[in-house]
Amino acid sequence: MPIDPTGHVFPRTYWTKRFRSFVNLSNLDPAWKNIDLTPPPTNPAELHKETDELLEKKWNGRADRMAEIEFEADNLTPKFARLLVMNDTSHPATAEVIDAILIAGRLAHFYFKDKFNRCRPCQLEPDIDPVVDIPGHPSYPSGHSNQHHMIAFALTEFAPLYKQRLEEIAHRVAENREYAGVHYASDTRAGKELAQKFYPFVRKAYAPEFERARKEWPNPAPLADVESSLSLSLSL
């Protein structure tokens, strides 16, 4: 019996979300590479101050955060999901947006990591003694900070009443990487700065995904407010 392919296509609903997000990376405005990201500090006194801060975190606070540090090394979004009582089944379009942010975020922070090529803290001060494996890429900016702050921006659009708590989660996760000994505080700040400047590009490239996600929430932020915030971020 001859095979007739007419009318047979791969079902969009069967796509793995994160794979679909890779396709839409091509929608990103290439101008994102022109983002003016604050360079890392190079002044010896400033670097000494940063490494001293990490030694202080090692001795005062690291032990209390170990469970979080170990869990967050490979699990990026559960704190947000628990706060908003959501998962892939209850909010599939929102989960797709989060996947898009994670994938696009990696593209951005790896680009700038390569540009600045900053060494990890333990290369300057071995006594920092990281408690997780050293990631296989430079230190600046922090990817955890970049991705988590962008997720917080998106979820704030969908559930604006949770804005403060979402920001606190993003900061806590990013800061935990300092306590782990793999990031300087300036890495964390740069990750947030990149998130603020790159997020409008993600929001535009994945606009259909965001629109579907908005429909999953009862009281999303007004689009006019979202657009105003995006315009402000682009002007930074």
pLDDT confidence tier of residue 206, bands split at 50, 70 and 90: very high
Q: What domains sit in the chain, N to C, each tagged with a CATH number?
A: 64-234 (1.20.144.10)
Residues in Cβ contact with 76 at an 8 Å cutoff, skipping those fewer than 6 apart:
102, 144, 147, 148, 173
Which pLDDT value is given to residue 120?
97
State residue 31's pLDDT score.
97
Averaged pLDDT of the chain = 93
pTM attached to this predicted model: 0.92
Query: What percentage of the chain carries pLDDT values higher than 90?
Result: 79
> pLDDT, tens digit, for every residue of 142-192?
999 999 999 999 999 999 999 999 999 999 999 999 999 999 999 999 999
Q: Give residue 229's pLDDT.
A: 80
Helix, strand and coil content of the chain, in percent to the nearest 5, comes to: 70, 0, 30
From the list 105, 96, 193, 100, the residue with the least C-alpha distance to 147 is: 105
**What is the distance between the alpha carbons of residues 74 and 231, in angstroms, rounded to a whole number?**
33
Distance CA 136, CA 117 (A): 12
